[in-house]
Amino acid sequence: MLRTVLQGVLSVILGFVVVVAGVLVVQSIWKPGITLWTRPAPATESSQVAAPSVPDLLLPPLTAPEHPSARRQAGDENGGFALPDRGESYLEILVDTLDADRATDPDRVRRTLEALQRLDAPDPRIYRWLGALYHREKAYREAAVAFERAVDLDPDNAADRFNLATVYLVQERFPQAIRELNRVIRLQPPFLDDAYAYLGYCLHAMGDEKQARKAWDVCLQLDPDNPVARRYSTIP
């Protein structure tokens, strides 16, 4: 009997201990101020996150630039208005301005021309004017380089070819001078007599007297008063 009573008391005590232990465990987990998740408070001005940026607009795919002739045709269809080829147009405007300033500010113009030459700007006037400057200063190597580039850019310009030929002549590069003078003659410029006169001089310098006299004869037929042909054609 006593044994049974003791077992019941022990069971009650053990149950009480288990309940207390459970309470303690729960309290250790759910401490004041600690929660598993809380709803965030509304953002203030200082803590507000910036809104996501709007995606960039998709641009149309790039296309190959129009050929200048097509652009000119579009201009004709639109009453003569068309966007110019900007690079070449700006260069043309710049060189036009330099042309107007050559007499009033030659030093600045020369510096600009030489800067454009270093950039290999594609306007033959740059090299034409530099060639003339260098020729005047007897800097014939630089003059030849300048006129050669002018001829590359404008192959049908007889004046540039004639100037290049005269530089070759001064340098005694007679085969090159003859080549250029023959090309000048094929272009039939107004100064055709001078081309034949200098051609005769180059042929004479190379020892081809027969061809030299033929050239001088043609020159004098074109202009009986040509000073070069009159001077050299009388050489025995």
Cβ atoms 229, 197 nearer than 8 A: yes
What is the rounded CA–CA span in Å between residue 186 and residue 35? 100
Greater confidence (195 vs 62) lies with: 195
pTM of model > 0.85:
no
Nearest Cα to Cα of residue 132 among 140, 195, 183, 156: 140
Greater confidence (201 vs 57) lies with: 201
What is the rounded CA–CA span in Å between residue 71 and residue 75? 6
Tens digits of per-residue pLDDT, 82-132? 334 455 667 787 888 888 888 888 899 999 999 999 999 999 999 999 999
Residue 174 has what pLDDT?
Answer: 95
Nearest Cα to Cα of residue 129 among 156, 158, 149, 152: 149
Residue 1 has what pLDDT?
Answer: 52
Residue 42 has what pLDDT?
Answer: 38
Neighbouring residues of 150: CB distance < 8 A, sequence distance ≥ 6: 124, 125, 126, 127, 128, 131, 157, 160, 164
Residue 75 has what pLDDT?
Answer: 39
**Section 72-79 average pLDDT:** 40
**Section 36-59 average pLDDT:** 34
Greater confidence (68 vs 114) lies with: 114
Q: Which numeric CATH code is attached to 86-173? A: 1.25.40.10
Q: Kindly list the domain boundaries of the chain, sorted by start residue.
A: 86-173, 190-236
Could you tell me the end-to-end alpha-carbon distance of the chain, in angstroms, rounded to an integer?
A: 168
Rg (CA), the chain: 47
Predicted confidence band at 216 (pLDDT cuts at 50, 70, 90)?
A: very high
What is the rounded CA–CA span in Å between residue 229 and residue 216? 5
